[in-house]
A and B are shown apart, each in its own frame.
Chain A
């Protein structure tokens, strides 16, 4: 229910624009590095949304990048069928899995001040040196989660994607933590799944508290 109200909120936010189907879609862009589960994150997010009856589309930036290289993945959420196939150039939300990318890649490209930003870090936006950029953004849409630490704690390895989805669920309210957990369990199994679910829950909690 919380998730639906958030979508409603988005609708309200975009009522200024023409009421085309374009304005109904919610677009998330995820930045990270090869090996961090960037693509998986987008996919799990789409599954979480699907679990809640939404249409969702997740796709990677189709590179041939190897471990460590900057990677981007996309996820679109909508109440209706998603037909468009273009990359997300104007995201409604940004998930940054690796804060070191902030000064290497133009992660903020096409971002409007109404966007959500979730960064995997133990530091603050100020500490990350992006305070100037986010000035004018809605503070409640800016969030940091120590996803690596949570993953280390719950999964045993610094794999931040699941935890970040938990954080994103809390931040955006677009999907429930349960849906995220279900999505995680569809991608992973056994202890790995439960560890990631635990990390997501911890991140969810952390983000709510934030």
Chain B
């Protein structure tokens, strides 16, 4: 073509005009910390593994999940999911059912027989005391880091409070067993009925380079209740532990549980299943103030458990207790009213909290115990070099998930300590708060409700109450994730740039900005659904 001068131009020749010089603000891709991840005591990369689950690549999801937490099937049942409370989707419709997806992945892993990858041993030996969640977690992470691990468990079975504190109807034992077995399959040596009494001696004898203490709180707290000799008084931990033994505990037809925590609910519901006609929780405050999770209370109430709110036990008689009515004062603290009532009962179970047996620590130099808790530094190490601790032993919330998190954190620090370095956590991004999102792009999608066992069976058997999601529903639920603060490759930035200044790098490779042409309008950042782009002023 003999193109006329100036009037007729070659296609796309404007590439010679670098409009990037117009820019005063510069877009940058960021990975913000999603609220679920931030809230997870086990430090799971929830948003990350959901990303794989959304694609239907459940194994990849499970593998990413278990980089932080080796017990997804257990977590998916017993975790009180702070992730869901923090989930930004809650501000849209309902939080993503992270817990149920986690359970799905955990169950899928068991079903498919997925195993962890083993690492080369590095020659270091670590002793883990306690085969509860924190000990198993530490053992798992240490093993994956190449350390030779031995776990010493005082009890007859591994699992700790997961086995002896959580009823079967919440955590079927085959699930627990499968997950523990998979951890042990990493080459971890487990010694059962092997209570450690003298730590330093054990350490020395076993040539251990480091120790992790993960002893659970198995000693029920007592309260002083004037009682006749004949009233059967038990503590909740013992009741729950005996459920794992040969003979179930004898609680009678009328049972009173004293306390307002989840353990109280567990016991009351267990009593119901053991055939109690009346299972009554006596709690000194109101439902709103109850530390137990509301959904568990709701399940308990469905099953026929009753609660006497604003009540304390003043005295226990032969077959009855005296209950005093309380009222909340201005600060929300219960105050006695002097009104009493009598409650017929065959037994009273105290669910007032637990303590840890710290006997094994006697004589360990430098180790400090305060208010029944072992004091640790930021690296989870006690005052005695090489001795680390976590879980119920150390100050903090006592949940399975927190314990698992402690185990992981301790393992990383132990690893670093053994290498004579310091473990530094990768800095997490700024929080991906709801106001960072552009939620218009997410359409409404109600949360999937997990199936529940029918009530009759819930009242009479220890079958699992809450069912899991099928694949289809798990996928649906996973896809409700907003991917807060982390690019999920929705192509919005690539699409909405009026200057084609976003380069799409291909599946899984995200995007990059072409600063030759980016004018810095900020549309990409404004229209990023998940807040994974920020605008920063150009350097002067």
Q: Do chains A and B touch in the complex (CB under 8 A)?
A: no
Residues of B near any A CB (own CB < 8 A): none
